[in-house]
Amino acid sequence: MARSIVARLALTVPVLAMVSLLVFALLLLLPGDPALVILGPDASPAEVRRLSRELGTDRPIIVQYAAWLGRALTGDLGRSTRTGQPVVAAVRERLAPTVELAVLGMVIAIAAGGSLGLAAGWRPGSLVDRATTWLATLGIAIPTFLLAILLILWLSLRAGLLPPSGYVPLREGVVGNLRFMVLPALTVAATMAAVIARVVRASVLETRSELYVVTARAKGLSEASIYLRHVLRNALVPILAVTGLQVGRLMGGMVITETMFAIPGIGRLAVDSVLARDFLTVQGVVLVMALWVLLANLLVDALNLVVDPRITRV
């Protein structure tokens, strides 16, 4: 197990390098000169050329990337061309809201999706099963931005239950913080919960027909005992697997969610930086998100080894 985890950790380095190279190349396709965006349309060509030299954007692409990668390996992701702040400091300031939103979203998704999937799979064809199937289909089909709009419209503007946008740091009050985080957490959790529910339902349906379940039932064990001792443990493996696969999608959904709910996280920082052609900040944010996804999947693989010892490698 330890050897597999170390091997996966070693693979994160080339993956992050490829991600950074891809993002660097894609950012160059964006229209507009960063120097012109910073100085404004009234800037003279001489001023634009001067700032381009200072930013290094007048150099060949491969030279720009090599210089950035060399600094990144030492922990220096450069300075924001929009604010002048070090990118590492900017990401660190915005990290807490994003982590909180991700954790809340994953907890809601696993609790709701796992519970509905277990109930639906154990009673196929029941009202719970039909409702779960319908909700899962709706959760997968509805876009994140549309769900955010509907939640704001129904639960905030019409019902007045929760604030429509904004953010209160956790250190300033748990209740106030959660009031602002409920709607965003529901938004990012919806798709993940739907996928988890469908996967768990299918897993439970398959487990119900396994020989060891039939044998346990023939021995006279109660349905509750069979459910707890055999079905739940086997359902944990697909829950963990699909959770790891959905982390990347969760991060993408948080970019939209943070923007719509005015949460000052790294997703909103990425959007603001793209609009301002702040390439160094965008690269730093994407690098952090990629590292987050890789570590989350590594954690899920390690948990799979604990839950199911039959898995011999990560």
Give the tens place of pLDDT for each residue, 79-126: 888 888 999 999 999 999 999 999 999 999 989 998 999 889 888 889
Mean pLDDT over the full length of the chain? 85
User: Which pTM value belongs to this model?
Assistant: 0.84
Task: Compute the distance between CA of residue 34 and CA of residue 32 in angstroms, rounded to an integer.
Answer: 6
Task: Compute the distance between CA of residue 210 and CA of residue 214 in angstroms, rounded to an integer.
Answer: 6
CATH number of 95-264: 1.10.3720.10
Q: Report the share of the chain in percent with pLDDT over 70.
A: 95
The dihedral over CA atoms of 217, 220, 221, 222, expressed in degrees to the nearest 10, equals 90
Nearest alpha-carbon partner for 284 in 78, 43, 10, 38: 78
Q: Domain spans of the chain?
A: 95-264
Q: Report the share of the chain in percent with pLDDT over 90.
A: 37
What's the pLDDT tens digit per position in 195-207?
999 998 988 888 8
The dihedral over CA atoms of 300, 302, 303, 305, expressed in degrees to the nearest 10, equals 130
β-partners of residue 86 are 79
Count the neighbouring beta carbons within 10 Å of the beta carbon of residue 107. 12
